[in-house]
Amino acid sequence: MKLSKRLNQIRSMVPPGYTHIWDCCCDHGLLGAALLSDQAAPHIHFVDVLPRLINQLNEKLQRFYPVTSNNWYTHCLDTAALPLEHYPGKHLIIIAGVGGDLTTRFIQAIHHQHPRAQLDFLLCPIHQEYPLRQQLIALDFRLKEEVLVSENQRFYEVLLVSAEQKEMAEWQKISPVGDKIWQADTLKQESIARRYLHKTLKHYQNSQKGNADNVRKAIDAYRAVTISKLEEIGVTEIGSDENIPASLN
């Protein structure tokens, strides 16, 4: 089955060099299966809290990706309870398809339980990007890459961040509202950024009856955004994939 533009973008942002990649809240396992096909890491982990989903996924993976040298695992558990201590090496944890508040809870729990782990996160939250960024800043995480994706009239921020102190000097500080996602090198990318900014501002302006102080800060921060055309690409069009078995859906 072909990957969506969003999943293809996440896939394209997976750097080399990890021992373990964790596809959390993995839905139908399409992203993890693509990373298996890519041989993106020696060990790919599929994580979801629903037993029925994990059982179905386990059967499909056994059919299309025979286990060799423990190259894939399925885990039926809460993403907040990843057993990283049982798997030595460098980890990339992918959390996509859930809200920013839940993503924040997962990150806080994992970081608290494994403070010395070699640990990066690849995140694609559904909404609540601003409070998620606030928490990443509070945890002193650093940014390697961020991209804005438009798909089916929806917008997604994809962030590659690190909790590893050794790499802090090489990575950038995280912006409360984003930096690279507002830079474009085509008119189409500029249009996507402008529409996303307009939609986000409208959301916060309609939410002023909530936590007034936080909402005002968010509105002020987004109003200060400048969308510019630079060589740095902020929105990427990613093609589909032909290597994932059609039955993995």
Please check the confidence at residue 217 and state whether its pLDDT lies above 60.
yes
Q: Identify which of 108, 124, 111, 119 has the alpha carbon closest to the alpha carbon of residue 18.
A: 119
How much of the chain is helix, strand and coil, in % rounded to 5?
Answer: 40, 25, 35
Place of tokens 């990066």: 120
User: Rounded CA gap, 237 and 183, in Å?
Assistant: 15
Confidence at residue 238, expressed as pLDDT on a 0 to 100 scale: 44
Task: Identify the helix (H) or strand (E) that includes residue 18.
Answer: none
| DSSP states of 157-191 | EEEEEE--GGGGGGSEEPPSS-SGGGEESSHHHHH
What's the pLDDT tens digit per position in 70-106?
799 999 999 999 999 999 999 999 999 999 999 999 9
Amino acid present at 46: F
The whole-model pTM stands at 0.90
Task: Identify the helix (H) or strand (E) that includes residue 113.
Answer: helix 100-113
Higher pLDDT, 153 or 45: 45
Please check the confidence at residue 236 and state whether its pLDDT lies above 70.
no
Q: Identify which of 63, 86, 85, 62 has the alpha carbon closest to the alpha carbon of residue 74.
A: 62
Confidence at residue 248, expressed as pLDDT on a 0 to 100 scale: 62
Torsion of CA 249, 18, 67, 38, to 10 degrees: 50
Please check the confidence at residue 240 and state whether its pLDDT lies above 90.
no
User: Rounded CA gap, 143 and 121, in Å?
Assistant: 10
SS3 category, 11:
helix
Confidence at residue 229, expressed as pLDDT on a 0 to 100 scale: 73
CB 14 within 8 A of CB 92: yes
